[in-house]
Chains A and B, each alone.
Chain A
Amino acid sequence: MNIVVCIKQVPDTTEIKIDPVKNTLIRTGVPSIMNPFDKNALETGLSLKDRYGGKVTVISMGPPQAKAVLREALSMGADEAYLVTDRAFGGSDTYATSYILSQAIKKLGDFDVILGGKQAIDGDTGQTAPSIAEHLGAARLTYILDLEADGDKVIARRQVEEGIEVIEARFPILCTATKESNKPRYATIKRKIASLKAEIPEITLADLPDADVSKMGLKGSPTKVKATFTPKRTACGVTIEGNTPGEIANALIGKLADGKIL
């Protein structure tokens, strides 16, 4: 089974602090990590390989420092890692990014499964991975919990709001993973050491001669950011006080009933 996992380097949002004066994120000194949902996607890929054999290739688009997350993926058990990087790719939105990644995946050869996280914790759009499926004409299965291969078919359990959906699709497929999909494995010490020494090949614009440059970078991005701002708080909490827990609970139930919540 040929498996490609798309991963993204993101700032560790648990470490982000807000500038109390300007009300903006302080980005300096914030450590970068592998997007947690992408780690779940990688675990899905690695466990597919454990079960069915094959190869797991990880791919990331970003500046050279994104090699750190590719190394981490290698240390967890990925076989190969590629960094998609070029000045021409800078400023890409989800459409352009998904186009560039789809072209890079095409260059890597045939695949059975492409995996990605359900969304990245920095942008939170959840668009890039599903768009790759569109560019490549692969079946798209989002929020999958697990996969079972059966010949050229695949049975997937999807997490949806109403419960769990069991669906069937044909290879090739693209799936997105969530936190509930699995618990990502740790690196082994041996693989960790090897990953720190691994050469990570780059895929640049020159490696994609058939790709359409007008769909890349800032110019190829239909999304325009008009403004970013911190939304005003419009509602605030109410503290319910009382002498006994029972009294407080009664007051709370009363308020919930008044608000037609109960």
Chain B
Amino acid sequence: MSLLYTEEQKELLALVREMAENEIKPYVKEADEKGECPRELFKWGFDMGLHMLEIPEEYGGTGLSYETTAMIFEELAKVDAGYAITFVTTFVALRNVILAGTKEQGQYFADKIRPGSFAGFALTEPNAGSDPAAMRSTAVLDGDEYILNGTKTFITNGALSDVFVGFFKTTPAAGHKGISAFIIDADAPGVTVGAHENKMGLRLSNTTDLIFENVRVKASAMVGPEGSGFKLALNALNLSRAFVATLAVGIMQRALDESVKYAKERKQFGTPIIKFQMVQALLADMAIKVEASRCLVNNTMRMMDQGIMVQKEGSICKTFVSDCAQEVTSNAVQIFGGYGYSKEYPVEKLMRDCKVFQIFEGANQIQRMTIANVLDKEYR
């Protein structure tokens, strides 16, 4: 392990590991095959408080640092990253309402989540992925209410959430600056959960369409000033990028753990394959990528704990780590050989699970644009 953990961190990691190994791991294979995650499985995480670890104590959270929270979520992702991201999405949504909204809005959102509920972020639309300004969903003021209309897609926790942060155009012609954010209860009339996505990986994570048809919300449900939705979304992504990176580290560490174990057991030509130099090179390169990724995540988290925006650093972190994860998990399959390609063994799932990390929270191509734009400004 590349980090120096405090005694407290070691204790917390041991606790989460014990829970995840005993209560979650036995059900992962079946849930992955079915593409669903039974709600009972999340009870363990809620009881432990995993949905509000880094939320300040005044909102009923545990008040942990981002750094320690990330360590805990890496541990959880070793068992299943889809399970982990269900909680990450929830606390990132809550954290952003706390950061961008009023004290009352933060409290309202926290009160919804605390007893054991999920939240989601409704931003992406069928024709507005990397380019949110192209969104078509609208919010029209009517007295002291807004009427929301539109279709959102790829919404993590879509069918699980009790509350959403949704993004709608209050000024359709204004591009980025026409987007505003709203708090929307999932049971508000007019909110419909659409089809569940049959995904390649992260199959324990719930991903659906969300349809808004004449949904009425109070004007006071707007988070931040009118037109500030795009900025809120970017800030939320700054926060979530490093968190999805920590999940990718968990996937990679699992791939390495499984690969070393297998390479020591598997014999060919009368010798455990870990004794062959070409296998050794694969394993060493995997270990290098895992360690470097974990250090990068840790450093980004510590910057976030200092209140630094990490626009560039979060993008670097997510891009580097998710690119590493492709190679590491692919090589894990390589080390397992034909068995690695079989669903009987655990590594093919890791390869499927990690692909989306290059895509979501901003595709890695967009990340590179962001990094280059910041560089351009920095060297002016």
Contacts and interface: CB of A to CB of B under 8 A. Distances in A.
B47 interface: yes
A189 interface: yes
A193 interface: yes
B220 to A, nearest CB: 31
A186 interface: yes
Tell me the dominant secondary structure on chain A's binding face: helix
B134 interface: no
Contacts of A255: none
A205 interface: no
Contacts of A190: 49, 62
Interface in A191-227: 192-193, 196
Interface string B60-79: 00101000000010000000
A187 B48 contact: yes
A187 B19 CA distance: 10
B47 A185 contact: yes
B15 interface: yes
Interface string B158-191: 0000000000000000000000000000000000
Contacts of A193: 8, 12, 62
Contacts of A186: 15, 18-19, 44, 47-48
Contacts of B49: 188-190
Given A196-B8, A196-B11, A189 B18 contact: no
A192 B15 contact: yes
B61 to A, nearest CB: 9
A192 B12 contact: yes
A32 to B, nearest CB: 14
A185 B19 CA distance: 10
Contacts of B62: 189-190, 193
Nearest to B19: A186
B53 A189 contact: yes
A186 B12 CA distance: 12
A189 B72 contact: yes
B8 A189 contact: no
B8, B16, B48, B72: residue with the most chain A Cβ atoms closer than 10 Å:
B48
A189 B64 CA distance: 9
A190 B53 CA distance: 8
Contacts of B50: 189
Interface string B124-142: 0000000000000000000
B73 to A, nearest CB: 12
Nearest to B23: A186
Contacts of B144: none
User: Of B15, B50, B53, which is in contact with the most chain A CB atoms at under 10 Å from its CB?
Assistant: B15
Interface residues of B, number: 17
Contacts of B48: 186-189
Interface string A161-195: 00000000000000000000000011111101100
Give the one of A75, A188, A190, A193 with max B CB within 10 A: A190
Contacts of B7: 196
B342 to A, nearest CB: 27
Contacts of A196: 7-8, 11
Contacts of B16: 189
A15 to B, nearest CB: 14
A185 B11 CA distance: 16
A185 B18 CA distance: 12
Contacts of B15: 75, 186-187, 189, 192
Contacts of A187: 15, 48
Contacts of A189: 12, 15-16, 48-50, 53, 62, 64, 72
A105 to B, nearest CB: 29
Contacts of A192: 11-12, 15
Interface in B1-43: 7-8, 11-12, 15-16, 18-19
A185 B12 CA distance: 15
A196 B15 CA distance: 13
Nearest to A195: B11
Contacts of B11: 192, 196
Contacts of A75: 15
A68 to B, nearest CB: 10
Contacts of B12: 189, 192-193
A188 B16 CA distance: 9
Nearest to B69: A189
Nearest to B72: A189
B232 to A, nearest CB: 28
B47 to A, nearest CB: 7
A39 to B, nearest CB: 12
Contact of A188 (B8, B47, B64): B47
Contacts of B64: 189
Nearest to A190: B62
Nearest to B64: A189
25 contacts: A75-B15, A185-B47, A186-B15, A186-B44, A186-B47, A188-B47, A188-B48, A189-B12, A189-B15, A189-B48, A189-B49, A189-B50, A189-B53, A189-B62, A189-B64, A189-B72, A190-B49, A190-B62, A192-B11, A192-B15, A193-B8, A193-B12, A193-B62, A196-B7, A196-B11
Interface of A: 75, 185-190, 192-193, 196
Given A190-B49, A192-B12, A196-B11, 17 more contacts: A75-B15, A186-B15, A186-B18, A186-B47, A187-B15, A188-B48, A189-B12, A189-B15, A189-B16, A189-B49, A189-B53, A189-B62, A190-B62, A192-B11, A192-B15, A193-B8, A196-B8
The 10 A-B residue pairs with the shortest CB-CB distance in the complex, in nearest-first order = A189-B49, A190-B62, A188-B49, A186-B19, A189-B62, A188-B48, A190-B49, A196-B8, A187-B15, A192-B15
